[in-house]
Structure 1
Amino acid sequence: MKIFRAAILAGSIGACALNTAIAQETAPTETPAYKLYRATPTKINDLVHTKLDVRFDYAKRYMYGKEWVTLKPHMYPTDTLRLDAKGMDLKTIAVVKNGKNTPLTFTYDSLSVAIKLDRVYTAAEKYTIYIDYTAKPNELHVKGSAAINDAKGLYFINPDGTDKDKPVQIWTQGETEASSCWFPTIDRPNQKTTEEITMTVPKQYVTLSNGRLVLSKVNKDGTRTDTWKQELPHSPYLFMMAVGDFKVYKDKWRNKEVSYYLEPKYAPYAKDIFGFTPEVIEFYSKILGVDYPWYKYSQIVVRDYVSGAMENTSATLHGEYVQGTKRELADRYYDAGRSTIVHELFHQWFGDYVTAESWSNLTVNESFADFSESIWAEYKYGKDAGDAHSYEAMQSYLNTPGAKDKNLVRFHYNDKEEVFDVVTYQKGGRILYMLRNYLGNAAFYKGLNIYLKTNGLKNGEAQQLRLAMEEASGRDLNWFFNQWYYGAGHPVLNISYKWDEGTKTQTVYLQQTQDGNAFTLPMAIDIYAAGKKTRHQVWMRDKADTLTFSVPSKPDLVNVDGDKILLTKKTDSKSLDEFAYQYFNAGLFLDRNEAIDYAKSRQSEKTAQKIIIAAIQDKFYMLRVKAINVADLTKDDVRNLAVPILVRLAQTDENNLVRAAAITALGKLKASGNMNLFKQSLSSQSYAIQGAALTAIGLQNPAEALPLAKSYEKDSEGALTQAIINTYASAGGDAEWPYVSKAISEMGPQTQFGIMPKFAALVGRLKNNEYALAGVKTIADFGVRFKQYVGPQVAEILGTVKDARAKAGDTASAAAAEKAIADLK
């Protein structure tokens, strides 16, 4: 699963306040629940095969189901069976003998059902239970998490068709244990079962499930019955169904079907959105040495999804944010959508083919999927892109309060949903990136191959991963797994230097300042002297270490962690000259990124200017964007050097985001000589470039920007839509309100929060009091929804609206704002 928080953070070097706020986590609380040891669920009975026959009541939001579930005792004889079955009406439970149903007695507490079998069964015997039931997901009240904001398993989207802007859909979400909201099962990740699902649906709708479509029959009553079979075993939380008006694009990988299910509006862009999928399947199959294991691979995009995406076996379900038109996708590069697509695909091996045996060991699912995003970026877009993605993941972890107190493998938690966090995802992914660097590609991927082949179609945990890596590499890895998998935190590393000219000795002082024990850190130290780089492989095993190196002449640079791979928060006491040398000679993404960070606050100095000006032209677009954003154009020297380059980049750079950043920087100068450039940029097919150009024109001449904004209303998305709203916030009024109100309502929460202050400015000066009241409600509703994250910030925004409406004599809107402020306290 790609959690929504991670999805909206991906693809940008910085994150705004809402993402930061939502990412906040607290240290584990010592509650009675937390003190429980979360053991792997005991197996009394094993699932063998699950057969379902379902139909849907759209009006009632019910699903009528018949189930035949085949099981066997795991080891010891038993005459009882307990199944998870949340919020259902259980009408009949019977054992199937010779084609006949013999009713069984059972007790049901609304969450699970205890069944008395007809006799004692041994581990050598299978038995089949028949259940006639009704699932009522909308009447079920269950707890979600930061990863999954709802957990009712089965979702009816616009079932009565009252929302004309939203399609009618049904889809399921099983992780963590919500499949048992729509069919009785042993809803634990350490269970595996084959599957057959028969769905009867209105004949105009398309269905999708795991495995292959084996039968499709049109019925006389206007329905159609589709039967899907998943013939390899997988865990119950990976079961899925989807029903709706989807257009299907058929692709292929080798001899297997690869298909993309999209709403008709986005069907023409199916290849633009998902078309690289076969290439990813080929890449993963080759590096893992295990071919894609399932019958087919489908991807479907649904409305109102409760998370980012979900890796259901052979049938991944995505939230809306992965889709886009050709023009929208042209601005995204390796964005949240593309990284999600590869993330879920890697799960087909790590999570589906081998599944974490318990939520405590979720790392063997999610850390790998997070890691896969970086290795795909590296393969497809180059090492800078892979390193940048891994670095962003590490920063998400390091900047999350409370994360350092949590183990990666977690046998203690208050609720299983807590394990879906930046430790399991981003920290775990970075740890694997580190392990690959330590072992080398050949040994690392051989270890993954051993792990997959040893545990295929079964369950795995971190210890099995350790054993596989040790077998492949021949190295003991207990030290690595003990500190990174079974311990918490990370090293906080201070680095300082001393050169002794008399003895020609370079000393490096390393100090770990975190609480607790020292981390064992193998690392490369690169010494650049007399035009030559010498690499030294060292181990830091104590809290403080002093290293000395004989060097013929004073080094130009001592580069600790030369591979820029350690998971650490570090303070490095290099000088500006040394960071400049690092930028121009060390070469890795993080080498250059660190130099930019150091130089950005020192732009009065020539050396810092040299770094920034070079970085504006860096080979990697993300660093070009970063350097453009931090260049201090209020300084004459910087501006004189940068502006000619920015003009060139704004016109000719191959990357739309770089061009947009250059236009934005030039726009802030309010120089009339750039107006033609901005107007020419409005003709671009890039929404990012158009948005930057419109904003730049508005900064120079708001009156001229207003009619231009109106001319683009009918064909705007993303950055251009935001620019139009910004223009209206600065120079618009009641005439522009309908567009702004509708556009805001269609934005995601991240974008809404970023634009909220300017939206509030427009609300504050509206003449129509009803419009103003609606604007106050929009802000207030957003504040209530995200109160725990950004309540104070939204209250402050509402305060400005209240003052403006009171000044305009609009007592109703002012009072509504005042009440909303009180509600947010």
Structure 2
Amino acid sequence: MKKLLFGMLTLLTFETLWSQPHEAAQDTTWKKLYRESAPMINDLVHTKIDARFDYSQSYLNGKAWITLKPHFYATDSLALDAKGMEIKKVAIVKGTATTPLKYDYDGWVLNVKLDKSYKGGEKYTVYIEYTAKPNELEVKGSAAITDAKGLYFINPKGEEKDKPTQIWTQGETEATSVWVPTIDRPNQKATQETIMTVPEKYVTLSNGKLVSQKKNTDGTRTDTWNMDLPHAPYLFFMGVGDYAVIKDTYKGKEVNYYVEKEYAPVAKKIFGHTPEMMGFFSKITGVEYPWVKYSQIVGRDYVSGAMENTTATLHQESAQQDARELVDGNGWESTIAHELFHQWFGDYVTSESWSNLTLNESFANYSETLWDEYKYGKDAGDAQNYTDMTGYLQSGSDKKDLVRFYYTDKEAMFDAVSYNKGGRILHMLRSYVGDSAFFKALNLYLTTNKFKAAEAHHLRLAFEEVTGKDLNWFWNQWYYGSGHPKLAIDYVYDDAAKKVQVIVKQTQSGDKVFKLPIAIDIYNGATKVRNKVWIENKVDTFTFSYTSKPDLVNVDGDKTLLAEKKDSKTMDNYVHQYKYAGQYLDRREAVEYASQNQTDPKAIALLTEALKDKYYGIRGLALNRLNLKNQGNKKEFEPLIAAIAKNDPKSTVRATALTALSNYETPAYKELFIKSVNDSSYTVAGNALEALAKIDSAAAFTEAKRLATQPTKGALVGAVMKTMIKSGDEGSFSTIAKAVGDMPLSQAKFNLLPSFSDFLAKVSNTDNLKKGVDIIVDFREQTKNFGLEPVVNGWLKGIVTKKEAAKAIAADKSSLQAQIDYVKEKLGGEKAGF
């Protein structure tokens, strides 16, 4: 699963986002509760479900045939997870006959007394008739999975205009048992047959292959999907809706993209790299894509990012980008890669417990780096790797083990440790053992454990068998330990003795000392001498001889270490590093250092070079780091910034340059800004509109009103709304409110809502105020498990404060009081704070 939260880094810290719903509680008994792998008493073998949907009540009327066998010991009983169902019949199946069985049901677990004691490995089939009522079930979710009702009816009665009617399921972690009785544990595996009867106008999607379709006389159609390879229950999936199905192929296998019909023309621009990804991942793992087909479907109101259901990945609606959004690049491409790699790591081989979740998520996370490196070059891969590393380092998660046997709730495992840190650990492991051994070990892990559940030690054993190395030290340090090294790096040059000392001090708190194999590269001009060393102590000193003083000593020459570093290099060292070391992170570190020393001519020269860097990410970074409050810098960089704004081949860099140009606040750029407002890139157009507003607010408002009548997405919708909101024109309320309300849950929407709240504070029409407040409240409810409720309530309180101030001087206080009362009502229990 790829979480939406990873795209919302600036909302709050990862630690706040991930831990608040779980670890804010006073109860600490979880610290003594060992989270073992689920005991296997009965094993799932096959699940057949016949599902019919009651759209009027959001019910699923189901029949299930569940084939099982005792794992080892004989048993005469069966416990199935079945959450919030109405159980109508339970029976044992013998040939074509069924015999009722005795059972107890508490609303959560269905305990069945079997007709006899079955021996280990002896198969039997239980038949169950039931009604699933997901909307009547109250289950605690998490920051990643906002409720856990498993089965979702979207606009089932068609009452919401311009919103499609859909059904989709979300099984991870243990919510498949809301819509079909099962043993809802990740260490279970079963084959599957899914029969869905739906209105004929809809298409369906499930795991495996569509094997039959039958039109019924009542205007419905019955589709049967067959999954003939075993997979875990949390990966079971059903999807229903009025979709366009865009067909693609990979080596004769179906590859399909289910999108809302308006996105059919761009579906292949969004998902079209999928076959190439399948080929790439098959090649590097040495395991050909193992399933019969691969489909991807987009679901409305799905806020968990994306989910790797076997052969049937579900994406949230943010995946659906129009042609102008795609000008800046496919913002969903890394998620597409992430979910696809799960088909190997998570679906083919599954972590046996949530404690070992990183076996699924670290690989999916790292696939984003691998794909970018392969498709777009090493700089792109390194940039992705750096972004993910930063996400972990900023998360405040240094006390959490990667493999965790003690946690508040299984949902708490979906964090920056299981994902980001795990991915970076794989990156270090790849660097340590080398590419050939790394990928051969992945192949061994996958082939040894195919269609099984695994724990982290299985991965270690595969690497040890391939490399011939004992890797317990690495697993104990990184998989079964917490934290990361913090390094202070100093250099002492002795020209008389022709020696340099490199002193590396580990400064992290506590007694833990990390063992780190790294490369130290010594440069004279373009000549590099590599020294491989081990950091093993709180302080390590490495001494190297030289004939002439090195231009640069570069610790962690491969830039693969997961660590925080304070490096005492000089400006001259960083200039040399930028020019000769050359990796993305080498250049990034040099730009960051130069940006902090912008009174130094050498730093200015380095930043000037960085503005012409081969990789657009470095060019954009340099633009963002320019200190344009310094008048000398401002004047010197102006021609280059203007040239970039007009000519850079990457639209996002042009957009950043336009923002930089807005700091000049000169009418000379008005023509450029107006021209750029009509750029094919939403980001360029949005940044240009905000830049125009700085020098001519009236012209910007005119442009914003014009653009508001056209389709706008991405950065442009935010810029248009901010410009219109800033104007204070209440006549634009309907346009503004619709645009804000229609935005999917995203960072852009979060960024816009404070301005929207300020606008509402000035709105005089009470009905408009209520509509606007409802939009904010809806956002709060969608993000209630993200830890954002205090932030959103703060916006609402701000509206109340401003309305109270207006009421104090108003002649007619009644309408303002009605508005204040409405906002306080929406604050619920917090209104007492006023």
Shift of 1:787: 4.4
Give the corresponding residue for 1:358.
Answer: 353
CA gap 1:288/1:160 in 2 versus in 1, 3 angstroms: same
Q: 1:431 aligns with which of 425, 431, 438?
A: 425
Contact kept in structure 2, 1:21 and 1:790, CA below 8 Å: no
Name 2:615's counterpart in structure 1. Answer: 620
Is the counterpart of residue 673 in structure 1 residue 668 in structure 2?
yes
Say yes or no: does 1:702 pair with 2:697: yes
Contact 1:733–1:762 (CA under 8 A) maintained in structure 2: no
Distance change (3 Å), C-alpha of 1:609 and 1:23: farther
Q: Is this contact kept in 2: 1:733–1:766, CA < 8 A?
A: no
Q: Deviations over 1:430-449 (max 9, x none)?
A: 10011111111100000000
Match of 2:141 in 1: 144
- 1:446 matches 2:440: yes
User: What residue in structure 2 maps to residue 211 of structure 1?
Assistant: 208
Distance 1:804 1:576, change over 3 A: farther
1:59 aligns with 56
Q: Relative to structure 2, which stretch is displaced further, 706-715 or 456-465?
A: 706-715
Amino acid at match of 2:107: S
In the alignment, what sits opposite 1:386?
A: 381
1:265 to 2:262 alignment: yes
After superposition, give the CA deviation of every residue in 1:494-544 in whole Å (9 maximum; x if it has no partner): 111111111111111111111231010000111112542111100011111
1:742 aligns with one of 738, 741, 752: 738
Match for residue 498 of structure 1 among 488, 492, 495: 492
Aligned pairs for 1:112-127 (under 5 A) are 112-127=109-124
**Deviations 1:549-585 (CA, angstroms, capped at 9, x unpaired):** 1111222111111111111111111122222222222
The aligned amino acid for 1:731 is: S
Q: CA deviation at 1:818?
A: 7.0
Q: Describe the SS at the equivalent of 1:424.
A: helix
What is the CA–CA distance in structure 1 between the aligned matches of 2:185 and 2:427, rounded to whole Å? 29
Q: Which residue of 1 aligns with 2:556?
A: 561
Shift of 1:729: 2.5
- Structure 1 match to 2:566: 571
1:516/1:746 CA distance change after superposition, 3 Å: farther
Name which of 160, 167, 172 aligns with 1:170: 167
Write the letter of the residue equivalent to 2:161.
K
Find the partner of 1:74 among 55, 71, 74.
71
Question: SS at 1:729's partner residue?
Answer: helix
Match of 2:237 among 237, 240, 251: 240
How far 1:682 sits from its partner (Å)?
2.6
Aligned equivalent of 1:311 = 308
Matches within 5 A, 1:6-21: 6-9=6-9, 15-17=10-12
Structure 1 segment 75-90 matched on structure 2, within 5 A:
75-90=72-87
**TM-score normalized by structure 1?**
0.95
When structure 1 is superposed on structure 2, of 290-299 and 580-589 the one drifting more is 580-589
Q: Find the residue that maps to 1:76 and give its secondary structure.
A: coil
Asked if the contact 1:63/1:182 (under 8 Å) is kept, the reply is yes
1:460 matched to which residue of 2?
Answer: 454
Give the corresponding residue for 2:522: 527
**5 Å matches for 1:258-337?**
258-333=255-330, 335=331, 337=332
1:395 to 1:109, Cα distance in 2 relative to 1, 3 A: same
Partner of 1:794: 795
Relative to structure 1, is the Cα distance of residues 179 and 773 closer, same or farther in structure 2, using a 3 angstrom cutoff?
Answer: closer
Which position in structure 2 is the counterpart of 1:638?
Answer: 633
Give the Å deviation of 1:791. Answer: 5.2
In 1: Cα distance, 2:599 partner to 2:705 partner: 42
Q: Which residue of 2 aligns with 1:103?
A: 100
Partner of 2:4: 4
Q: Which has the larger displacement, 528-537 or 461-470?
A: 528-537
8 Å Cα contact 1:169/1:242 also seen in 2: yes
Give the conservation status (yes or no) of the 8 Å contact 1:783–1:794. Answer: no
Q: Using the alignment, how far apart are the partners of 2:13 and 2:400 within structure 1?
A: 23
Deviations 1:782-816, CA, capped at 9 Å, x for gaps: 56745456258536754774466447736334565
Q: Which moved more, 1:436-445 or 1:22-31?
A: 22-31
State whether structure 2 residue 728 is matched by structure 1 residue 727.
no
2:158 maps to a residue whose letter is G
Confirm or deny that 1:475 pairs with 2:473.
Answer: no
Q: Deviations over 1:438-475 (max 9, x none)?
A: 11110000000000110111111110101111111122
Equivalent-residue separation in structure 2 for 1:145 and 1:618 (angstroms): 42
Distance 1:289 1:149 in 2: 36
Instruction: Please state how far the C-alpha of 1:678 moved relative to its aligned partner.
Output: 1.5
Structure 1 residue 397 corresponds to structure 2 residue 398: no
* Kept after mapping to 2: 8 A contact 1:67/1:132: yes
TM-score after normalising by structure 2: 0.94
Corresponding residue SS for 1:405: coil
Amino acid aligned to 2:5: R
Distance in 1 between residues matched to 2:302 and 2:645, nearest whole Å:
37
Picking from 668, 671, 684, the partner of 2:679 is 684
Q: Would you say the 8 A contact 2:757–2:795 is kept in 1?
A: no
Question: Per the alignment, in what secondary structure is the counterpart of residue 295 of structure 2?
Answer: strand
TM-aligned CA distance change 1:761 to 1:533, over 3 Å:
same
TM-superposed CA distance for 1:19, in Å, is: 7.2
Secondary structure (helix, strand or coil) at the match of 1:170 reads strand
Residues 802, 815 of structure 1: 8 Å contact kept: no
Once the 2 structures are TM-superposed, how far is the Cα of residue 169 of structure 1 from its aligned partner? 0.7
State the one-letter code of the partner of 2:2. K
CA distance in 2, matches of 1:670, 1:326: 31
Please name the residue that 1:587 is paired with: 582
Q: Deviations over 1:228-270 (max 9, x none)?
A: 0000011111110001101101100011110000111211211
Quickly say closer, same or farther: Cα 1:499–1:7, change in 2 above 3 A: same
In 2, the alpha carbon distance for the partners of 1:118 and 1:171 equals: 35
- Residue type of the alignment partner of 1:790: V
Partner SS state of residue 130, structure 1: strand
Amino acid at match of 2:56: A
Measure how far apart 1:423 and its partner are: 0.4
Q: Classify the secondary structure of the residue corresponding to 1:79.
A: strand
Whole-Å separation in 2 of the counterparts to 1:548 and 1:630: 35
1:22 aligned partner? 17
Sort the Cα spacing of 1:683 and 1:770 in 2 relative to 1 into closer, same or farther, 3 A.
same
Contact residue 46 and residue 67 of structure 2 kept, 8 A: yes
The one-letter amino acid of 1:728's match is M
Q: Does 1:189 align with 2:186?
A: yes
- Residue 507 of structure 1 aligns to a residue in which SS? strand
1:692 alignment partner, SS class = helix
One-letter amino acid of the counterpart of residue 507, structure 1: Q
Tell me whether 224-233 or 752-761 shows the greater mean CA deviation. 752-761
Q: How far has the Cα of 1:326 moved from its partner? A: 1.2
Contact 2:379 / 2:583 at 8 angstroms: preserved in 1?
A: yes
Alignment partner, residue 40 of structure 2:
43
Asked if 1:512 corresponds to 2:506, the answer is: yes
Letter in 2 for 1:730: K
Note if 1:411 corresponds to 2:405: yes
Deviation at 1:693, TM superposition (A): 1.6
The question of 1:657 aligning with 2:652 is answered yes
Could you list the runs of 5+ residues in structure 2 that have no partner in the other structure?
A: none
Q: Which moved more, 1:732-741 or 1:241-250?
A: 732-741
Sort the Cα spacing of 1:271 and 1:781 in 2 relative to 1 into closer, same or farther, 3 A. Answer: closer
Contact 2:14 2:391 (C-alpha < 8 Å) held by counterparts? no
With over 3 angstroms needed to count, the CA separation of the structure-2 counterparts of 1:782 and 1:326, relative to structure 1, is closer
Code of the aligned partner of 1:365: N
Given the superposition, is the C-alpha separation of residues 536 and 800 from structure 1 closer, same or farther in structure 2, using an over 3 Å criterion? Answer: farther
CA distance in 2, matches of 1:660, 1:495: 37
Give the CA deviation at 1:752. Answer: 2.7
